[in-house]
Amino acid sequence: MNRFERPALRAMTGYTFGEQPQDGSVIKLNTNENPYAPSPAIAEALARFDVATLRRYPSPFAQGFREAAAALHGLTADWVMATNGGDELLRLLITTYLEPGQPLATTEPSYSLYPVLAAVQGCPTVTFDLEADFALPEDLGARAEAAGAGLFCLVNPHAPTGRLFSEGALETLLSQFSGVVLIDQAYVDFIDEDQKAAALGLIQRHDRVLLLRTLSKGYALAGLRFGYGLAQPSLLEPMLTKTRDSYNVDAIAQALATAALEDQAWAHDNWAKVRRDRAALKAALAARGYEAPPSQTNFLFPTVPSALDAATIKDQLKAAGILVRHFPGALGQRLRITVGTAEENAALLAALPGAP
Ligand SMILES: Cc1ncc(COP(=O)(O)O)c(C=O)c1O
């Protein structure tokens, strides 16, 4: 035991990572990465990068990236903040907007990093169950308000269920809850074209809403560690000027992230492939007795047939070189399966036990 560690930290456990084997032969369907290599524009930007410039600190606010993101979203650069992965933005939000002791509110289930980051700040997490069909309860915001929460973190489209909440449902939450609201859009790129919900209207209407974006999923750049926030400048300002590390995103990452956003043709083509393979995988899983709810993300959350045990199947798949995610507890009969390439999905289906 380390007697110098803060008591609040001693009492908590850290985040449980999905397995990250470095051996390329494993089929990784466990951490919602993109199964395809990133845009060729990334390799070109890396080749063009002038290493001599590394002797200088990078642009402190990632200005080139902010301008590229602003152009993409029809905003100005002061509505954009670049971070070292979306996870850094979560940490900044919590350290900026939650007083130690003040609760963070989220749904159950949700992204399991939120309670960890809250605990580091000395804040409890209050959770509210989703409805049986994973919809948001009508009085969700009112219950978070009554619990005294200062920040509501909502994943949309939702992880791990894949469900997309409507803008109307988010407005209802905002009408009942008076604190800061994070809409975590880590999976927004995979929403069907006819349901695309950028939620930019929400940040235009509310000065206490922040949208989280990441290049980890839709741009196939999880290893780069690059995310960004979109919000009114007044909401970003304390994070940009006070809580953030001065140079939180490095020069190479800034250059590559900018190149990624600028290749929208690659991005749209990639998202269409993932959506196509998501539909095919969902149907094939259902045919084997694994029913998954509709997903607007790059993963599915099927229930395993009742005669089988989800944790055992996860282990059997692992023995066959295929990783998927299992969360013990109330949703323990489900597996969370990232949509892979068509070949990876076929290998999964071949290895998956059917209902007896
Ligand atoms: C819901 C959700 N939010 C945010 C993130 C953060 O992603 P990153 O830090 O890679 O940008 C993830 C990553 O898995 C996620 O699932």
Q: How confident is the model at residue 217 (pLDDT cuts 50, 70, 90)?
A: very high
Residue 159 CB neighbours (<10 A): 20
Average pLDDT over residues 284-289: 96
Confidence of residue 18 (pLDDT cuts 50, 70, 90): confident
What is the residue with the minimal CA distance to atom 7 of ligand 1?
Answer: 86
Per-residue pLDDT reduced to its tens digit, 199-209: 899 999 999 99
Peptide bond into 38 cis (omega under 30): no
Cβ atoms within 10 Å, residue 257: 27
Q: 317 pLDDT band (50/70/90 cuts)? A: very high
- CATH code, 40-263: 3.40.640.10
Q: What is the pLDDT of residue 129?
A: 97
pLDDT recorded at residue 36: 98
pLDDT at 341: 97
Q: Domain locations in the chain? A: 7-38+265-351, 40-263
Q: Hey, which residues does 171 pair with through a beta bridge?
A: none
Residue 2 pLDDT class (50, 70, 90 cuts)? confident
Count how many Cα atoms sit within 13 Å of the Cα of residue 221 in the half-sphere of its side chain: 29
According to the model, what pLDDT value does residue 1 have? 77
The two tokens of residue 355 are 């209902």
**Rounded mean pLDDT, 236-241:** 98
Q: Is 186 in the pocket of ligand 1 (CB under 6 A)?
A: yes
The residue behind tokens 């919590």 is 94
CB 58 within 8 A of CB 250: yes
pLDDT at position 16:
85
Protein residue whose Cα sits closest to atom 1 of ligand 1: 111
pLDDT in tens, 160-182: 999 999 999 999 999 999 999 99
Q: For residue 237, is pLDDT > 80?
A: yes
Please determine, for residue 85, whether its predicted confidence score (pLDDT) is greater than 90: yes
DSSP 205-250: H-TTEEEEEESSSTTS-GGG--EEEE--HHHHHHIIIIIS-TT-S-
Q: Is the pLDDT of residue 354 over 90?
A: no
Cross-strand pairs, 46 = none
pLDDT of residue 199: 80
Dump pLDDT digits (tens) for 136-148. Answer: 999 999 999 999 9
Share above pLDDT 70 across residues of the chain, in percent, rounded to a whole number: 100
Q: Give residue 337's pLDDT band: very low, low, confident or very high (50, 70, 90).
A: very high
- Residue 216 Cβ contacting ligand 1 at under 6 Å: yes
Which residue among 32, 106, 107, 214 is best mutated to probe the pocket of ligand 1, counting the most ligand atoms within 8 A of its Cβ? Answer: 214
Q: Is the CB of 214 under 6 A from ligand 1?
A: yes
User: Are 130 and 161 contacting, i.e. CB atoms less than 8 angstroms apart?
Assistant: yes
CA distances 268 to 252, 261, 265, Å, are: 24, 11, 5
Domain 7-38+265-351: which topology?
Aspartate Aminotransferase, domain 1 (3.90.1150)
**Which of 34, 81, 87 has most ligand 1 atoms within 8 Å of its beta carbon, as the pocket-test mutant?**
87
Q: Is residue 317 classed exposed, middle or buried when 0-12, 13-18 and 19+ CB atoms within 10 A define those classes?
A: buried
Is residue 300 within 6 Å of ligand 1 at its C-beta? no
